Amino acid sequence: MSTITVPSEIPPVSDDVEQLRKALEGWGTNEGLIIEILAHRTAEQRKLIRLIYTQTYNEDLLKALDKELTRDFEKIVLLWTLDPAERDASLANEAINKGAKYNQVLVEIACTRYEGDEVDLSLAKKEAKLLHDKVMEKCYNDDDFIRIITTRSKAQITATLNSYKDEFGQEINKDLKADPNDEFLKLLRATIKSLTYPAKYYEKVLRLAINRQGTDENALTRVVATRAEFDMKSIKEEYKKRASISLDQAIAKDTRGDYEDMLLALIGTTEA
């Protein structure tokens, strides 16, 4: 469930555009006004704001923001303002350029678009056995193994993995910890967790980003920008269970200034 708050009465898009222009002009940027508008508009509303801004001022809003904002605040505002598909493309491009260390980002993007509702329980049981056989043989890169994990809908893969647990006594991710430091197995586990327990997956990403020595702003920014409009409420609930502190409090403790304000505006400050 989304955590962004949208006013019950939205001003005309032309007013939002005019206010954003004022926030970006002059001697000092009005970061608070930028947050007040962009953090409280839906993806469709932000897309329209960007379109009308370009038509009105003959300049892409993203370029205008890029010229005036800096550092982590700039990154989250730009990511948030992008259309979701553009955002995924931007994150994917960045991950590819940074190398294998960022393959997890590609997994997150791929799993976000992995939908479907129909379930074949007979197929689930059959493929659960196939997965188990390959795991026992340590054939993790087997074509059939990869095909099942990467081509089945969320509903179907969930049924398959539930069957795996019922038939063989434990979750597949536990069996995939034969070598905890193997990068390929890490990606497999991340893929499975992101598909089947997304709130738990992203909670862990956030917890590691915030609890490490020195906040991982890239991971924090990415998760908030990509999940605030989707399932951040569930992620916040999982975070509080695991960290014994609300995500709001953790972010307020580890971040400062406009970056902190934008993050808190997107995740909401009222705990479920």
| Nearest-angstrom CA–CA distance, 14 and 37 | 12
| Residue 230 DSSP code | T
| Residue 7 DSSP code | -
Residues annotated within the binding site for Ca(2+) are 26, 28, 68, 210, 212, 214, 252, 254-255, 260
Q: For residue 45, what are its two tokens?
A: 């509303």
- Contact (CB, 8 A) for 61 and 49: yes
30 contact partners, CB below 8 Å, separation of at least 6: 22, 23, 24
- Contact (CB, 8 A) for 106 and 96: yes
Residues annotated within the binding site are 26, 28, 68, 210, 212, 214, 252, 254-255, 260
The three-point CA angle 22-57-26 to 5° equals 30
